[in-house]
Amino acid sequence: MGIERIRVLGLGNVGELVAHLLAGAGFDVAGADRRDRAELPFPVDAFDVADPAALGRELDGYDAVVSCLPYDRNLAVAEAAAARGMHYFDLTEDVPTTTRIRELAATADGLMAPQCGLAPGLIGIVGSSLADGLTELRRMQLRVGALPQHPSGVLGYSFTWSPEGVINEYLNDCEVIRDGHRQEVPAMADIETVVIGGDRLEAFATSGGLGTLCETYDGRIRHLDYKTLRYPGHCDAIRFLLDELALRDRKELAGEILVTAKPPVDADVVYLYAAVEGQDDGRLVRREHVRAWYPRTIAGREWRAISWTTAGSACAVVELVARGVLAQRGFLRQEDVALDDLLATTSGNLLADGDPER
């Protein structure tokens, strides 16, 4: 099934750019949001995605849907897409949502492709590309962080991403491979130091960033984990908020407090760090892929780094499916996407460069 007409749900900091990029890549795009967006150069319908009847009507006639909604809204969209034989894409990091989408994919006529953002998503594509051709894989370390360029306060953070998604990552257990065995570790554990371009960062475990990599590399690698990058001190401060102030079971309130305290800033930076160790022709080698991305102008306005990197990665996957490079039905694992193929697309080319020394 080809892709010509695409519905993009949720026109926030990422969704709006997803629609722009897909339109620029030649697709017939229509957006959908809770509010009218008459200023945008593509048609937009305002409706409530929580209404199943309205959601179904708005998806009819489209070949694919890209959900840029909060993680807890994606499942309803995926179910509606599967029922209509549409291709489905989203940006979720939520493991239970992805598990259910994988079940839907078993009988779907279209491709079900969750986790098309940065982590999970691009980081898994980069990691698997580094591992390609290596034998006796020893270690894969995957790290991503979206941070303010000019941090302030103890948190040193700014909520340029969904606060619900961030809190979710901080609370749920994290799947890893240790000593060759798949297991789960608590979120916000195993703090380590990473230095990128002279910036000293801390990395700690958060959930969902590996997508399906643990399953893919089970039995093939000794150590595999994903960690979020933050400025030093952030992890301890969040632990105080969630544990000492008893907000662990009050996600919405925790998110509201954090966004009020640390609203989005325009001057952000996205760091991506991936390293893989294994045997290459009998020699132990370590391959690394390190990038730092900053705001850039696209479609006549400047976008935060977190917005355009996430949108670029997701839209590149859509382009590859439309070209027939990727599967046309079933479930898409991000590690099945070749990095070179992704970077060769109109949208993925945005990610080809990144300067950690800026």
Q: Could you give the CA distance from residue 56 to residue 79 in angstroms, rounded to a whole number?
A: 10
Interval 94-111 mean pLDDT: 95
Q: Could you give the CA distance from residue 64 to residue 210 in angstroms, rounded to a whole number?
A: 25
CA-nearest of 182, 183, 204 to 193 is: 204
The answer, yes or no, to whether residue 164 has pLDDT greater than 90, is no
Identify the pLDDT of residue 48. 84
pLDDT, tens only, 307-322: 999 999 999 999 999 9
| Domains of the chain with CATH codes | 5-117+308-351 (3.40.50.720), 122-301 (3.30.360.10)
Band the pLDDT of 100: cuts 50, 70, 90: very high
Q: Give the β-pairing of 199-205 and 135-148.
A: unpaired
The answer, yes or no, to whether residue 358 has pLDDT greater than 70, is no
Interval 172-187 mean pLDDT: 96
The answer, yes or no, to whether residue 1 has pLDDT greater than 80, is no
Mean pLDDT of the chain: 94
With 0-12 CB in 10 A as exposed, 13-18 as middle and 19+ as buried, what is 48? exposed
Identify the pLDDT of residue 35. 87
